[in-house]
Structure 1
Amino acid sequence: MIQTKLIPRTPEAYEPPMLIKNILAESIKYEPQREIVYRDLFRMNYTEFNRRTRQLANVLTGLGIKPGDTVAVLDWDSHRYLECFFGVTSLGAILHTVNVRLSPAQILFTMNHAEDKLVLIHEDFLPILEAIKDKLTTVDTFVLLSDKVYTDLNAIGHVPNGFVGEYEALLRDVSDHYEFPDFDENTWATTFYTTGTTGNPKGVYFSHRQLFMHTMGLLTYLIGYEAIPFKSRTDVYMPITPMFHVHAWGFPFLATLLSAKQVYPGRYDPEMLLKLLVTEGVTLSHCVPTILNMLVSSPAAQKFKAQLSRWSVLIGGSALTKGLAKAALDLGINVSAGYGMSETAPVLAVAYLNDAERSLPLDEQVEYRTRAGRISPFVEARLMDENGNFLPHDGQALGEVVVRTPWNTQGYYNDLERGAELWQNGWLHTGDVATISSDNWLVIADRTKDVIKTGGEWVSSLDMEDVLSQVEGVAESAVIGLPDERWGERPHALVVQKPGYSLTAEGIKETLQARIDRGEIHKWYMPDRIIFVQEIPKTSVGKIDKKRIRSDMKAQILS
């Protein structure tokens, strides 16, 4: 950095730090009567939410939690989780959002590695706790979370041995007066764990400043560009991305800042999700493609087409295929893609259509809506080759996406080696191969480890999945490359067909060959093998698990 002249400071002057408590404080300034809803069990307004958040801080303080201590949460998406987003962090403690979809052994590793001191756990996850409780090395306090208290008052106070109490009962018995303190904005606020292809899960962490700035970045997208279809005065927000996964992509912070109505669905059940969409008037959600595919494929989707037509959905985690996008648009759903990763808090790009692109017919807009997006405000993104050289943003050059933002994680907790790999050459390496156009569009070709190298060509498995999604009757697909003596690698595909169809591998190949003959797709896009399956293997956060698919298909071929 260059040498500059800093502004003079008056000793008495106050410079407020960027803290999560300041986001919370905005929520009761203008629309405190708006609601936060949990399934069909509980609702409150923002005044009550702020009161309960202060009560949570008193409960935690009374249980010995101090600034710098780590509090773990194992819960479904709920109002309680939202209270922890603010109540834990605003007293200076660290919130560990535990991925409940990991194996018990992985959950044990993450809780010991994060040095959790207190655990808030939903009763549905007690069997996991029983399997690992004796091996937890730093936890000394447990609090029970239960939905029964909203339907059966007699359930309050009935907690397992070793627990200090039930969440609602503990809140009820403490004061709602708590003054959240000021502290350094670089204070550690949250942590969670992301799994890779090898080794133990990696601990990602974020400061108050980073989460504050990520919220401001989302706000800029919302107000300045309207890339995120979210109008706080009229819209109703419901996440369908787990709150343990990158803070539900940061949107709960944004919704709270705007005091927008929020709906939390708990455990993801198609009937409950559709019920909440209709009865609560949900207008904005975000999810992985699997969830959207499940909803648009539901027989009830046509029944509720009028209500779905007011719904906007941002897709991330995996690529949004043109086939799925068209199916959603046919139901009137305003669908578009976004891009990011756990280490980037996560938003890096959102599919923003400019004035000219918005004027196109919907069928033509699909090309833009399914791209990773236009690079977000305050995000510096470049393409880098294997030697660390930058590549041009001409929409043609392929390179690894590297980024700098005000909200990137600074490393992995207690893992300097993998942190150094992440930040090689002073840029955060995403592991994604892409192009960037001169007008700021980011188009992901593939993960570096998933690009299929065949016959001297680089073939994108994501592009192949996109082509398969457009074959009538294909609900979902996954493409991986396997070793081939002649070509180096060849593509192989798993396909899930829609109900009522009787597809064959030969029929799909004939459809693809017709497109190849017309020059619409490259000849390399013909998979060697197409296998029909009931479902595509997924990771704990709903992404296609290509590591497992690759291993399983190799085993099939060898056998």
Structure 2
Amino acid sequence: MIQTRIIPRTPSAYDPPLIIKMLFNQVTKYNPQREIVYRDLFRMNYTTFDKRVRQLANVLTEIGVKGGDTVAVMDWDSHRYLECFFAIPCLGAVLHTINVRLSPAQILYTMNHADDKVVIVHEDFVPIIEAIKDQLTTVEKFIIVSDKVYQDPNAPLVETSFRLEGEYESLLSNASDQYDFSDFDENSLATTFYTTGTTGNPKGVYFSHRQLVMHTFCLLAYFPGYRALPLDHRDVYMPITPLFHVHGWGFPYLATMLNFKQVYPGRYEPEMLLRLLLKEKVTFSHCVPTILNMLVNSPVAKQVDLSKWSVLIGGSALTKGLAKAALELGINVTQGYGMSETAPIMSVVHMTDEQLQLSIDEQLPFRTKAGKIAPFVELDIIDDDGNSLPHDGDAVGELVARGPWMSQGYYKDAEASEKLWAGGWLHTGDVAAIGTDYYVTIADRVKDVIKTGGEWVSSLDIENLLSQVEGVAESAVIGFPDPRWGERPHAILVIKPDYQGKLTPEGIKAGLQARVDSGEINKWYVPDNIKFVPEIPKTSVGKIDKKRIRVEMKELILGH
């Protein structure tokens, strides 16, 4: 340890901890008149938001929530969810954002594993609770959430066989809007959620107050004044990433602190998303490629002006085909990179003024990179022996990371935590290159790289090629064992409705082969099989699920 001189502390001096209370204390300072909107059902300004967060804190305190208790939320993206983002951790309790797209058995596991004490549940998810309530081991109380109350305050609530503490809006209206949040240790647990990227039970990822405040500071340093997606207080923010997925990528904390106008769409429905986008004049969103693809291919998208809308893509790779389709509609689309375990930001594309002057086709290689390393983040690439590789844009290895907001491990899983942080770096499981310009290019997931004919072939590169075929909506490429070549790539494609019957697997393969013959691409990039499918299996957060594809579609893809 280096010897340092510690600044002497005056006994009466205030040494504020980095806790979410610090972010919340800003909400009425700058533009409190700006609105927080929920669908076409509810709207309020930040002064009201401040009061409602304190009312929720009083409600939870009244029903027995104390520091260290876990409060779970099962809701669509809403103003209520945003209130929970602040009220629960500001109490010193732990916010568990439940992934409502998991199976009932998986949800049961996560609730018991997280030691949930209170559950705030939307009435749409009551059937899930009914199915598992007798197996819940720690849950003591439930608060029901309903959208009906905004249309008819006297509307009856859904009937439940389990006891309710009351309905959310009714409880808030009867609670005091005065609550003085206390200070506590900044390393206190603030949030937890569960990731399902591997086999077995979901893994609990957790974050401290300090980590979430530092992540918010990173976004604050990176995005306002940022060349690709410049954000400021005039922006209108609508997340299209579920709030249960890595705290909505951290942007709700930033948007609330800076008093952005915020729009929460509830259940994701294409018509509602586009209606809110236009009516509320949304300027910034983030989502996985699946959602953007759905919106870009909506008939309405070609009839409206989307030129004021910027979209950050994450979760899965942004293909050049999807990026081009979005840019041609006027959408300012770009890509970021992160993981659940990294809170999630590790890098974001940073376009220069010169690059922004290029044609759409010339911009695609820049916009579809994983991005430039974010402030305060360290990234490295290593070989199989853990040796660091050159950051020259050519060397490829496993990407490892360090940063002040990255999860310290997996909840109650010491073995997996040690594996995650082997060698003092967080292991992403991605294969990447890092350039001298600090740009990261993801080659593939370690388990998805295809070794064929002695060459390492990226499934993402092949997906990129297929995405640029006119009429292809989505693509997924996986490797299957091959007796001659070790492995060979195979592809499944979703074809746009207007191109049904016009495209054939043989025609697409011939097009790729022509590019091989011209020397444009490597011969190993032509899939052995191309199959058309109505949809590609996705995970609960909208990523292409290659694990399911390998198991469930093997016979279809291989034809035997």
The TM-score, its normalising length taken from structure 2, stands at 0.98
Q: 1:313 aligns with which of 311, 314, 319?
A: 311
The answer to whether the Cα contact below 8 Å between 2:392 and 2:435 also exists between their aligned partners in 1 is yes
1:354-393 → structure 2 map (5 Å cutoff): 354-393=352-391
SS at match of 1:256: helix
Q: Distance in 2 between matches of 1:405 and 1:255?
A: 22
The answer to whether the Cα contact below 8 Å between 2:123 and 2:158 also exists between their aligned partners in 1 is no
Alpha-carbon shift at residue 356 of structure 1 (Å): 3.0
The answer to whether the Cα contact below 8 Å between 2:228 and 2:334 also exists between their aligned partners in 1 is no
Alpha-carbon shift at residue 358 of structure 1 (Å): 2.5
Listed one character per residue, the Cα deviations across residues 112-133 of structure 1 (whole Å, up to 9, x for unaligned) are 0000000000000011111101
Q: Give the corresponding residue for 1:468.
A: 466
Alpha-carbon shift at residue 516 of structure 1 (Å): 1.2
Q: Specify the code of the residue in structure 1 equivalent to 2:56.
A: L
1:216-365 → structure 2 map (5 Å cutoff): 216-223=217-224, 225-232=226-233, 234-304=234-304, 306=305, 308-365=306-363
1:529-544 → structure 2 map (5 Å cutoff): 529-544=529-544
Alpha-carbon shift at residue 9 of structure 1 (Å): 1.0
Alpha-carbon shift at residue 361 of structure 1 (Å): 2.4
The answer to whether the Cα contact below 8 Å between 1:55 and 1:176 also exists between their aligned partners in 2 is yes
Listed one character per residue, the Cα deviations across residues 402-431 of structure 1 (whole Å, up to 9, x for unaligned) are 010110000000000000000000000000
Q: Give the corresponding residue for 1:208.
A: 209
Q: Distance in 2 between matches of 1:259 and 1:540?
A: 30
1:9-158 → structure 2 map (5 Å cutoff): 9-155=9-155
Figure out how many residues of one structure are paired with residues of the other and give that number.
556
The answer to whether the Cα contact below 8 Å between 1:192 and 1:205 also exists between their aligned partners in 2 is yes
Q: Structure 1 stretches of 5 or more lacking a match?
A: none
Q: Distance in 2 between matches of 1:103 and 1:555?
A: 25
Q: Give the corresponding residue for 1:182.
A: 183
Q: Distance in 2 between matches of 1:445 and 1:533?
A: 25
The TM-score, its normalising length taken from structure 1, stands at 0.98
Q: 1:459 aligns with which of 457, 460, 472?
A: 457
Structure 1 residues 390 and 224: CA distance shift in structure 2, 3 A: farther
SS at match of 1:154: coil
Q: Distance in 1 between matches of 2:191 and 2:156?
A: 29
The answer to whether the Cα contact below 8 Å between 1:221 and 1:228 also exists between their aligned partners in 2 is no
The answer to whether the Cα contact below 8 Å between 2:218 and 2:376 also exists between their aligned partners in 1 is yes
Q: Specify the code of the residue in structure 2 equivalent to 1:548.
A: R
Q: 2:411 aligns with which of 404, 407, 413?
A: 413
The answer to whether the Cα contact below 8 Å between 2:227 and 2:351 also exists between their aligned partners in 1 is no
Q: Distance in 1 between matches of 2:63 and 2:211?
A: 28
Q: 2:400 aligns with which of 402, 405, 409?
A: 402
The answer to whether the Cα contact below 8 Å between 1:59 and 1:174 also exists between their aligned partners in 2 is yes
Q: Specify the code of the residue in structure 2 equivalent to 1:54.
A: R
The answer to whether the Cα contact below 8 Å between 1:509 and 1:526 also exists between their aligned partners in 2 is yes
Q: Distance in 2 between matches of 1:227 and 1:105?
A: 42
Alpha-carbon shift at residue 12 of structure 1 (Å): 1.1
Q: Give the corresponding residue for 2:475.
A: 477
The answer to whether the Cα contact below 8 Å between 2:449 and 2:459 also exists between their aligned partners in 1 is yes
The answer to whether the Cα contact below 8 Å between 1:229 and 1:284 also exists between their aligned partners in 2 is no
SS at match of 2:121: strand
Identity percentage of aligned residues: 69
The answer to whether the Cα contact below 8 Å between 1:399 and 1:435 also exists between their aligned partners in 2 is yes
Alpha-carbon shift at residue 156 of structure 1 (Å): 6.5
Q: Distance in 1 between matches of 2:98 and 2:230?
A: 29
The answer to whether the Cα contact below 8 Å between 1:108 and 1:135 also exists between their aligned partners in 2 is yes
Q: Give the corresponding residue for 1:547.
A: 547
Q: Give the corresponding residue for 2:193.
A: 192
Listed one character per residue, the Cα deviations across residues 298-328 of structure 1 (whole Å, up to 9, x for unaligned) are 0001111x2x111000000000000000000
The answer to whether the Cα contact below 8 Å between 2:227 and 2:353 also exists between their aligned partners in 1 is no
Listed one character per residue, the Cα deviations across residues 465-510 of structure 1 (whole Å, up to 9, x for unaligned) are 0000011111110000000011110000000011111211110011
The answer to whether the Cα contact below 8 Å between 2:126 and 2:160 also exists between their aligned partners in 1 is no
Q: Give the corresponding residue for 2:4.
A: 4
The answer to whether the Cα contact below 8 Å between 1:159 and 1:165 also exists between their aligned partners in 2 is no
Q: Distance in 1 between matches of 2:110 and 2:488?
A: 37
Q: Give the corresponding residue for 1:525.
A: 525
SS at match of 2:10: coil
Q: Distance in 2 between matches of 1:533 and 1:420?
A: 40
Q: Distance in 2 between matches of 1:528 and 1:558?
A: 11
Structure 1 residues 483 and 158: CA distance shift in structure 2, 3 A: closer
Q: Specify the code of the residue in structure 2 equivalent to 1:432.
A: D
SS at match of 2:400: strand
Q: Distance in 1 between matches of 2:164 and 2:526?
A: 57
SS at match of 1:319: coil
Please report the RMSD computed on the Cα atoms of aligned residues, expressed in angstroms: 1.1
Q: Distance in 1 between matches of 2:153 and 2:424?
A: 55
Q: Structure 2 stretches of 5 or more lacking a match?
A: none
1:483-522 → structure 2 map (5 Å cutoff): 483-501=481-499, 502=501, 503-522=503-522
Alpha-carbon shift at residue 329 of structure 1 (Å): 0.5
Q: Distance in 1 between matches of 2:425 and 2:433?
A: 17
**Structure 1 residue ranges, 4+ long, deviating more than 6 angstroms after superposition:** none
Q: Distance in 2 between matches of 1:412 and 1:139?
A: 21
SS at match of 1:54: helix
Q: Distance in 1 between matches of 2:78 and 2:318?
A: 27
The answer to whether the Cα contact below 8 Å between 2:288 and 2:316 also exists between their aligned partners in 1 is yes
Q: Specify the code of the residue in structure 2 equivalent to 1:124.
A: D
Listed one character per residue, the Cα deviations across residues 9-31 of structure 1 (whole Å, up to 9, x for unaligned) are 11111111111111111111011
Alpha-carbon shift at residue 159 of structure 1 (Å): 5.7
Q: Distance in 1 between matches of 2:402 and 2:226?
A: 21
Q: Distance in 2 between matches of 1:191 and 1:226?
A: 33
The answer to whether the Cα contact below 8 Å between 1:221 and 1:227 also exists between their aligned partners in 2 is no
Q: Distance in 2 between matches of 1:268 and 1:102?
A: 16
Alpha-carbon shift at residue 95 of structure 1 (Å): 0.1
